[in-house]
Amino acid sequence: MELALDLARRGGSAVSPNPKVGCILVKNGDIIGQGYHQEYGGPHAEVMALRDAVTDPIDATAYVTLEPCSFYGKTPPCTNALVESGIREVFVAMTDPNPGIDGEGLSILRARGVRVTTGILAEKAAELNKGYIKWIVEGKPWVIAKAAVSADDYMGYNATSQTWLTGEESRIKVHRLRSEVNAVLIGRQTALVDDPRLTVRETVGENPVRVVADTHCRLPLTLNLFRDQQAETIVLCSEMDQQGTLTSYCRYVPVRELNGQLDPEQMLKALGKLDITTLLIEGGRHILASFFADDLIDEIYLFRSEQHLGKAELGNPLHLSENWVVKTKIRSGADELTIAQKRKLKCLQE
């Protein structure tokens, strides 16, 4: 199952909004086939493993990281493929929370005489597909907040100037993180001050969808987000100003306002409807603070520099409490990276 999970990770963001799934076939103690879901709309992991089999899979055992699907979608049911190939036993890491499956795949296999065991490395499987699980269960993406702060806990001097705090190794990690999510979100002020591209450049990977919150659609179209054509751009704006428009340079998506600003939860629901399962918030302080205050952040990547800013205005809004679990704390060049997760993944696993 560990090997199957490693295979599943290779699917990356290319399989979204489908889950990342890996499958290993074993017969007489030997691995005879392996596969993973490689791209959305393509063959599922079980089918890829069967195609890879070097010998007849009759009476073989399959190790699958997620419950095999049981319905016709973009591909036929994987339960059919397993049964028709003569697989004798299936070990499954976790059931699929999709209401269209959710145990049905396991029931079909058992009804057809296949022995089924579940719960093998379930926590690791849930962690691997945390974005998919949340999207299926809540209709919203898994939200990762990224912030770079000084040694004295400031994000920058003020909201009208750009402050570089972290080094090259941290920037590479951020680009790698971008390659692993569906979309990256920034606020209007960050778009104006930094004019970022929000693309993957320091590592290999696909560019995420770029999302900018611009309540009244006032950002200039000369920004990189609109003119470089490097990735899809979405503008979240007030439903009072837009009914939803697709242009050659971006898609305008209307969102309900709350107290004169875009409602953060409605922003997530709007992105969920666009099949975005993982969202990285890169700033600035205002948008991070609003999502954090509304308890809408699932994971935090906090890069802490050795620099001191002294008399600065932009304090760090991301404060870890007992509701957060620090998963990793490592050096990132001269910086320190802390990765923390909210204590709710356990509920999703259950």
* Burial readout 265-285 (b: 16 or more C-beta within 10 A, e: otherwise): bbbbbbbbebebbbbbbbbbb
Helix axes 45-52, 2-9, angle to 10 degrees: 110
Give the closest residue to 186 by CA, choosing from 164, 210, 206. 210
- Report, in angstroms and rounded to the nearest whole number, the Rg of the chain calculated over CA atoms: 22
Q: 2, 39, 46, 127: which is the annotated catalytic residue?
A: 46
Q: Using CB atoms within 10 Å of the CB of residue 159, give its burial: 0 to 12 exposed, 13 to 18 middle, 19+ buried.
A: middle
3-class state of residue 180 by DSSP: helix
- Residues linked to residue 325 through DSSP beta bridges, in sequence order: 341
- In 120-232, the DSSP E strands lie at 142-149, 154-156, 183-187, 209-213
Q: How far is residue 206's CA from residue 218's CA, in Å, rounded to a whole number?
A: 28
* Burial readout 254-264 (b: 16 or more C-beta within 10 A, e: otherwise): bbebeeeebbb
232: annotated active-site residue: no
Give the closest residue to 268 by CA, choosing from 239, 247, 297. 297
- Residues linked to residue 36 through DSSP beta bridges, in sequence order: 22
Active site residues: 46
